[in-house]
Amino acid sequence: MKAGFMIFLAGVALFATTGQGMAAVDHSEFVKGPFTDGPSVTKACLECHDKQASDFIKTPHWRWKGPTKGHVKGLEKSNKEYGKANMLNNFCVSVQGGKNGMVHEACAKCHAGYGWTTTKFDFTDKTKIDCLVCHAQKGDYIRDNATDIDGFTDLEIAAKSVGMPTRANCGTCHFKGGGGDAVKHGELDTTLITPAKSLDVHMGSTATGGQNMSCQTCHKTKDHRISGASTMMATYDGRAFCVDCHSGKNAPHQKSKNGAILNRHIATVACQTCHIPTFARGQAVRMSWDYTNVGKNIEPEKKDGLEVFRKSEGTFTWGKDVVPTYAWYNGQIDRYMVGQKIKDPKSVVFISRPVGSVKDKHAKIYPFKVFTGKQPMDSKFKYLSIFQQYKSLWVDYNWDKALKLGAEGSGLPYSGKYQFVKTANYILDTHQVAPREDALACGECHMGAGRMDWKALGYKGDPMRIGGRFAKTARK
């Protein structure tokens, strides 16, 4: 009877409001400790939530890979699954480095599970799910690595506090991706935990006039599958669009005196382009990562309070209130895949970039953070190298050793020779939506303004003067 009642209460939790403080069942009365470790909490959760666990272990959030579903150009017909588990980037590069994938011990700190310390992890084992990382609201729940929980965490308090995920829960990984706060994304960082409306109209606090939305208000969730496709990853598990809410009776620009003109832009300009005039408005974000300086002694190590050099990782640059890079995007990306041969090592290697052009009627102009880097390439095989950073390069600064160990974990041979190449990664800006009064005005893009590089976008000149891309005079 008690179990049945608990299942009923869990069902009630689904009927929650969309705000940051979502209504959820109070578990404090029927969750009993003490708990010795994370898996013991999961065992208690499974008594009532076995179906939810069965759903979760099928998702890309659990498996760190999934189908591409046409998201990546050239993989439209591929049935292979891709994701963080088998791809690389220009941040910490890869989770595959080290014998038996031992860097999982550190990287899987952001995995919603316990014990993924090697490549031999049982993804069918529901008892390994970390329910608390997404659902605990109290108890100072923090994971030190793939297995160990921070010693200051009170597991019983954490277990009794479970509820619908908040921005702080999601931000545990998504605000701190790439190795730290404000490293990976241009518009996702810890300033969004309790932002003002001026930073983001959707997530801004009600006290400042914002809507205090949770992440899942836009990133709709069904059976623990969370919609949203990143331009950094190949995985596609649904998408979140502005028009999911802003259409029909809620269509944009209805009250604007320039509504007709603005609506004509919609066929060519993405909502984010005008409504995210700059990113990193809450705090500075990392803009580049140069691995060539690993092991050197460089001064200063900090500039304006920001870390610009770490002996174990190289040098970094930062940016605040940054004007995005604008590019055409039709919903597909060009993605560098593991083992892909680099044709010209002297040119920039694009980890990811959007597909589209002025001639592509399905493409629109979107804003991006372009993260640049310098990382190793195998000089003989001409592909980006996977190296063991954790407990290797970051400790002894030995590139040759790190590359040998990386080859053991990834299965990607190391020839014994390497060189550094420049890389770039286009990351779509979709958060930090500014209030309407701060959206871009006509003169910020047109009439000689320098924000848009019209020729780089494929126009002969400013489309306000020569005509839009659908006009016969728009291009040669």
Distances (CA, A) of 223 to 42, 151, 220, 239: 18, 32, 10, 15
∠ CA 62-56-173, rounded to 5°: 45
Cβ atoms 369, 108 nearer than 8 A: no
Dist. CA 144–CA 71, nearest whole Å: 33
In this structure, the dihedral spanned by the alpha carbons of residues 141, 144, 146 and 147, taken in order and rounded to 10 degrees, is: -70
pLDDT of residue 30: 84
Q: Flag whether pLDDT at 251 surpasses 80.
A: yes
474 pLDDT exceeds 90? Answer: no
pLDDT at 7 over 90: no
Q: Which long-range contacts (CB under 8 A, 24 or more apart) does 44-52 make?
A: 44/159, 45/129, 45/131, 45/162, 46/126, 46/127, 47/3, 47/6, 48/3, 48/6, 48/7, 48/10, 49/10, 49/131, 50/126, 52/10, 52/224
Mean pLDDT of the chain: 93
Q: Is 350 exposed, middle or buried (0-12, 13-18, 19+ CB in 10 A)?
A: middle
Hey, is 178 helix, strand or coil?
Answer: helix
Strand ranges (E), 80-239: 221-222, 225-226
Asked whether the predicted pLDDT for residue 4 surpasses 80, the reply is: no
In angstroms, rounded to a whole number, what is the distance separating the alpha carbons of residues 118 and 96? 9
Q: Could you read off the pLDDT of 421-448 as tens digits, one per residue?
A: 999 999 999 999 999 999 999 999 999 9
pLDDT of residue 61: 96
Give the tens place of pLDDT for each residue, 60-93.
999 999 999 999 999 999 999 999 999 999 999 9
State residue 36's pLDDT score. 94
Q: Token digits for 371?
A: 């993260």
> Facing residues of 427 across strands?
369
pLDDT at 21 over 80: no
**What token pair was written down for 45?**
């959760």
Residue 368 DSSP class: E
Look at 174-178, 254-258, 422-426 and tell me which has the smallest mean pLDDT.
254-258
Instruction: Give residue 472's pLDDT band: very low, low, confident or very high (50, 70, 90).
Output: low
What distance in Å separates the CA atoms of residue 418 and residue 379, rounded to the nearest whole number?
5
Reported as a pLDDT band with limits 50, 70 and 90, residue 471 is confident
pLDDT of residue 24: 72
**Average pLDDT of the residues in 30-39:** 92
Structure confidence at residue 140 as a pLDDT band (50, 70, 90): very high
Q: Using alpha carbons only, what angle is made at residue 276 by residues 273 and 277, rounded to the nearest 5 degrees?
A: 85
- Answer whether residue 18 shows pLDDT above 50: no
Residue 22 has pLDDT above 90, yes or no: no
pLDDT class of 2 with cuts at 50, 70, 90: very low
Expressed in angstroms, the distance from the first to the final Cα of the chain is: 74
Rounded mean pLDDT, 448-473:
90
At residue 432, the pLDDT reads 98
Q: Could you tell me what percent of the chain has a pLDDT over 70? A: 94
